[in-house]
Each structure stands twice: as structure tokens, then as C-alpha cells.
Amino acid sequence: MNRKIAERAQCTHSPKDDREGRRRNRQSCVFPVQSSSRVQCRQNNLSETRRVLKELLTWPELEATLKATMTLLPGGYHRPRDCESPKRLAIIIPFRDREENLKVLLNNLHRVLQKQQAEYAIFVVEQETGTPFNRGLIKNIGYVEASALCHFDCFTFHDVDLVTESEKNTYWCGPRAVHHARKLDIWNYRQLQDKLFGGVLTFNETFFSTINGYSNLFFMWGAEDDDLFDRMLAKHLPFEISKYSRYTTLGHARLPKEEEKKWAVYRPGKNRYDSDGLSNMGGIYRLISVDYRPLYTRIYVSVNHTDVMARIKGYGIKV
Ligand code: UDP
Ligand code: MN
């Protein structure tokens, strides 16, 4: 195991020390990113369809079947052994209380990404219990905290309950944002309406910071994806739909949606694209811990609910 990672895996540094260290040197990374190969990785032999693995395994079984000790470094980082990958990908999964979904997703995602010869790390960003789940904020936190640990070229925001059905559905980023999860099994793979822009999305770093990330103001009411779509349009930034956009959905309990609150926050959205998002992360969350687990890096955070509510009120929105 790489020494730097081994030290970090058992380190006693606070996450804040880690972040400050990383910020000092943009090239430095908690993962060993230098490649010894000059051969470019290629996406050969990818099949258009694949069997989604749905077996429920224990964590040790999962680590064994994925050969984690050979293919991954702690934190769920992988670099192809015999070739140089053109981009480094951060996969960010917003998460709370969906462990079964997470295990199934990881079992599929690691296999697909490795078949694609991607260099990547998987981040599971978990919100502490006690406050309502805030998906947009959690994804923004994933972007900020992953970037503080290492430089990534591409960011994929990946719901925990969606599994790709094609190895050709790659997660590299270009100038356009990519919407991957467009045709879902539960909708008989019908192409969803244009504006639906959730589930699995890839951005390059500049793209995501230009739109100022997600709004931080939506709790589990939904519509933060609609708001993100509007942000892209407002900046005239292009997007595309993955050619291989079929996904299998994993079951979970449903949270009640609060339609009125959702629209109350969504409607005046365009007034705050530049003041609500990545530019305003101060005080809105606290990093509890960063854990380099065998299959993923767990970023555990507490969301300052009072602060979010005060911001909503500050925009004159009544919820
Ligand atoms: N999520 C989670 N725990 C929750 C709520 C949401 O982990 O209690 C994450 C998870 O990644 C999930 C995503 O947020 O896939 C979207 O939420 P959900 O699946 O509930 O929304 P849907 O799109 O199914 O309405
Ligand atoms: Mn879901």
C-alpha cells in the first residue's frame, strides 16, 4: 500500500489540517496520482449492455468480490495499472440511511469504472441525522471537500439508487455537462422530458463552478435539479444526454414531498444564482470526519439547518 495513504488511513489529523495542506499545493493529493505509464488508456471491449448485480452482500464479501486490496487504495481510489488516464474523476454520492442501495451501487460502479480504465475516487457524502436532508448542499459539499483532498478534472454526482446498464456509459467530462440517467427501468426506458436533470450528472470543474454549483436552499422537497438546469441555461452552457442512458433503479422508502415549499423556493431562483451556491458555503455546514474506507471515502457532515432557514428568509421566501 502507498505509504502516504497508509498514514492517512490511520491518521489523527483533523480534516481541516488535511484541507489546508491540500490547498497549499494544487498538485498534491491524498491519493498517489503519478502514473508510471505513458500509454493512454483506451475504452476497448466495452459492452453496450451489462447485467446489473443486485446480490446483497456484507461489507467484507463486497470488498472480497471487488478484490479491493488489489484494485483500490483506501478511500475507493483506483488508477489503471498499465496506462495513463487522461482525466481524474470524482464520483460524489449524496447519502443518508440507504446502506443496501450503497452496497449494490458500489458493487456495480467499481466494476464499470475499472472496465472503462478510469482513474477515479468515490466519495460518499453523508449528512448527519437530525436535520432534513439537503441534496444540493450535500453535493456542493462533496465538490468542495473532494477538491480539497485532490485535484479532479471531472465530477459526477450520482444518486445512490441508480445503476448503469451499459459499460459504454463513461463518466469523462468534456465542455458539455452530461445527463446520464435519462432512461429508467421504472419508466420503461422512455426518454424523460427535457427539463428533468437529476440522478446522475457529470460536469467539468470549470462548468460546475461557473454555474455556482447547486442551490443550498432546497431540503428534500426536490427541484434543486430544475434550479441547476436553469443555472446552465442562464450561463448559456451546453449539455448532452449520454448515448447509453439506461439505468436500473433500486428501491427505497419514499419521503413525503412538500410541493408548496419546493415551488416557493424554486420560483425566485434566478435572483440568486450568484449568491446561493458554491460561493456561499461558509457557516452552512461542519465537516465532522473524513474516513478512507476500503471502497470509498466517507465525508461525514452536519448541516446547519438554522442557517439555511435564515438564508431562505433573507431572500424574502416564506416556507
Ligand atoms: N438520499 C439519501 N438518503 C435520503 C434521501 C436522499 O441517501 O434519505 C440521496 C440518495 O443518493 C438518493 C438521492 O439522494 O438516491 C435522491 O433522493 P431520492 O432517491 O429520495 O429521490 P427520488 O429521486 O427517488 O425522488
Ligand atoms: Mn430515488
Domains of the chain plus CATH, in order, are 3-30+47-314 (3.90.550.10)
Ligand 1 pocket, residue 98 CB under 6 Å: yes
Mean per-residue pLDDT, 254-269 = 88
Ligand 1 pocket, residue 160 CB under 6 Å: yes
Partners of 203 in the β-ladder:
155
How far is ligand 1, taken at its centre, from the CA of residue 7, in Å?
33
pLDDT in tens, 183-233: 999 999 998 776 788 999 999 999 999 999 999 999 987 899 999 999 999
Ligand 1 pocket, residue 95 CB under 6 Å: yes
Ligand 1 pocket, residue 99 CB under 6 Å: no
Residue nearest to atom 15 of ligand 1 (CA): 159
Q: Taking 50 as the threshold, does the pLDDT of residue 11 lie above it?
A: no
| DSSP helix/strand/coil, 23 | helix
Higher-pLDDT residue of 305 and 254 is 305
Number of alpha carbons in the 13 Å side-chain half-sphere of residue 279: 9
> pLDDT > 70: what percent of the chain?
91
Query: Closest-lying ligand to the alpha carbon of 223?
Result: 1
Q: Taking 70 as the threshold, does the pLDDT of residue 83 lie above it?
A: yes
Ligand 1 pocket, residue 126 CB under 6 Å: no
Ligand 1 pocket, residue 96 CB under 6 Å: yes
| Ramachandran region, residue 215 (left: φ > 0; alpha: ψ -120 to 50; beta: rest) | beta
Q: Taking 50 as the threshold, does the pLDDT of residue 271 lie above it?
A: yes
Question: How far is CA 73 from its chain centroid?
Answer: 19
Q: Can you give the pLDDT at residue 35?
A: 76
How far is ligand 2, taken at its centre, from the CA of residue 151, in Å?
29
Q: Give the number of the atom of ligand 1 that is nearest the alpha carbon of residue 158.
A: 11
Ligand 1 pocket, residue 135 CB under 6 Å: yes
Residue nearest to atom 8 of ligand 1 (CA): 96
Partners of 215 in the β-ladder:
none
Q: Can you give the pLDDT at residue 27?
A: 63
pLDDT band at residue 179, thresholds of 50, 70 and 90?
Answer: very high
Q: Give the number of the atom of ligand 1 that is nearest the alpha carbon of residue 126.
A: 7
How far is ligand 2, taken at its centre, from the CA of residue 99, in Å?
13
Number of alpha carbons in the 13 Å side-chain half-sphere of residue 147: 17
Q: Can you give the pLDDT at residue 33?
A: 82
Nearest C-alpha neighbor of 86 from the set 45, 118, 44, 43: 118
Of the listed ranges 11-20, 173-182, 202-211, 260-269, the one predicted with least confidence: 11-20
pLDDT in tens, 20-56: 444 444 468 999 887 778 899 988 899 999 999 999 9
Mean per-residue pLDDT, 293-317 = 97
Residue nearest to atom 23 of ligand 1 (CA): 199
Residue nearest to atom 4 of ligand 1 (CA): 96
pLDDT band at residue 248, thresholds of 50, 70 and 90?
Answer: very high
Mean per-residue pLDDT, 252-268 = 88
How far is ligand 2, taken at its centre, from the CA of residue 83, in Å?
36
Q: What is the mean pLDDT of the chain?
A: 91
Q: Give the number of the atom of ligand 1 that is nearest the alpha carbon of residue 94.
A: 11
pLDDT in tens, 95-110: 999 999 999 999 999 9
Q: Can you give the pLDDT at residue 8?
A: 39
Ligand 1 pocket, residue 181 CB under 6 Å: no
Q: Taking 60 as the threshold, does the pLDDT of residue 149 lie above it?
A: yes
Distances (CA, A) of 40 to 47, 113, 133, 152, 202: 20, 16, 41, 18, 22
How far is ligand 2, taken at its centre, from the CA of residue 201, in Å?
15
DSSP string, 95-158: ESS-HHHHHHHHHHHHHHHHHTT-EEEEEEEEEPTTS---HHHHHHHHHHHHHHHS--SEEEEE
